[in-house]
């Protein structure tokens, strides 16, 4: 089955699907999105992703969209594509209208989705661990809303790649470590698995939440607290979490090795537990 796209109820191959030029998502970044993965023909944490999508829509004062409507649209596309290990992208924009910063009340939401096979990460990267860099967080102050305004994230990721690193993490002006460009960030100290609290400065990652539950199940102590760059360097392990990232162990940050300079035992245990849960 080819890669498919859904546009306001119609499903076609991606390369035959077009969005009007005056979509506000395109002109103003006035759109929200979700990215959901499937394992063995099952969409992982669909409910949690759709709940977050609704929160994002509310955050931008979009009109309410019935959850069962979007859920059946997701299933329609997913079932048609017949891809057991898929990445399903949903984007909802405020709609299409002549360019104007303000919008009219009768504007209609524009719903698009795409589905593609997941390109699995080279397993060697997972065993060796990744290098990441730190970048000052200059994003807007509503990073808890999953909007398509992710240009700064994209630039930070590119900067990392240009420097030969895999990814970047954002650090606030006053030194607080926030999250990755498309992932959440954790450090491990003894049995504590520590991540940034849920504030407006990070995305409430679904994988982040799953990992905290799995950590608890494994007898570890998940903790949400602020920490600085200095705290990272005394951590035994560090990793990123995200829908595609899953759990990715970090070997060095800004060229300084973390722990033993490779993904640690807890990172590996959590990765195994996540894969087991997603099966």
Specify the residue, 117 or 260, whose C-beta has the smaller distance to ligand PDD. 117
One of 25, 205, 249, 259 touching ligand PDD (CB under 6 A): 205
One of 206, 253, 266, 274 touching ligand PDD (CB under 6 A): 206
Residue 146 annotated as catalytic:
yes
Catalytic site residue from 146, 157, 159, 229? 146
Provide φ and ψ at 110, rounded to 5°. -110, 120
132's CB contacts (< 8 A; 6+ apart) are: 160, 165, 166, 167, 168, 169, 180, 240, 250, 252, 253
Token pair listed for 244: 């595609």
One of 114, 184, 195, 267 touching ligand PDD (CB under 6 A): 184
Q: Can residue 201 be called a binding residue for ligand PDD (CB under 6 A)?
A: no
Over the window 70 to 109, marking each residue x when it contacts ligand PDD by CB under 6 A and - when it does not, the resulting string is ----------------------------------------
Specify the residue, 70 or 97, whose C-beta has the smaller distance to ligand PDD. 70
Q: Looking only at residues 208 through 267 of this chain, which bind ligand PDD when binding is defined by CB under 6 A?
A: 208, 241-244
Let me know: does 94 contact 30? Beta carbons within 8 Å.
yes
Alpha carbon distance 31, 92 (integer Å): 5
Q: Can residue 129 be called a binding residue for ligand PDD (CB under 6 A)?
A: no
CB of 144 to ligand PDD, least distance (A): 10
Token pair listed for 145: 């809303």
One of 183, 195, 201, 267 touching ligand PDD (CB under 6 A): 183
CB of 179 to ligand PDD, least distance (A): 5
One of 88, 207, 251, 271 touching ligand PDD (CB under 6 A): 207
Binding residues vs ligand PDD (CB under 6 A): 35, 153, 179, 182-184, 203, 205-208, 241-244
Q: Catalytic amino acids?
A: 146
């Amino acid at each position: 089955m080819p890669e498919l796209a859904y546009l306001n109820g119609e499903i076609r191959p991606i390369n035959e699907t077009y969005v009007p030029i005056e979509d506000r998502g395109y002109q103003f970044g006035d759109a929200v999105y979700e990215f959901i993965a499937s394992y063995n023909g099952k969409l992982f944490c669909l409910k949690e992703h759709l709940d977050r999508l609704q929160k994002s829509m509310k955050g931008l004062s979009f009109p309410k969209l019935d959850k069962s409507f979007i859920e059946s649209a997701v299933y329609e596309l997913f079932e048609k594509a017949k891809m057991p290990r898929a990445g399903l992208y949903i984007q909802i924009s405020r709609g299409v209208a002549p360019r104007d910063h303000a919008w009219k009340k009768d504007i209609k939401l524009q719903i698009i989705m795409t589905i593609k096979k997941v390109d699995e990460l080279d397993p060697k990267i997972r065993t060796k661990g990744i290098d990441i860099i730190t970048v000052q967080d200059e994003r807007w102050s509503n990073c808890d809303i999953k909007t398509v305004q992710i240009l700064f994230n994209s630039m930070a990721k590119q900067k990392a790649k240009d420097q030969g690193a895999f990814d970047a993490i954002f650090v606030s002006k006053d030194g607080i470590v926030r999250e990755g460009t498309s992932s959440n960030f954790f450090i491990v100290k003894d049995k504590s698995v520590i991540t940034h609290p849920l504030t407006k400065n990070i995305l409430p990652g679904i994988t982040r939440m799953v990992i905290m539950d799995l950590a608890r199940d494994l007898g570890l102590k998940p903790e949400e607290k602020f920490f600085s760059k200095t705290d990272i360097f005394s951590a035994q392990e560090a990793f990123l979490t995200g829908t595609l990232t899953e759990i990715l162990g970090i070997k060095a940050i800004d060229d300084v090795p973390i722990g033993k300079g490779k993904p640690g035992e807890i990172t590996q245990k959590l990765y195994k537990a996540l894969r087991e849960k997603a099966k």
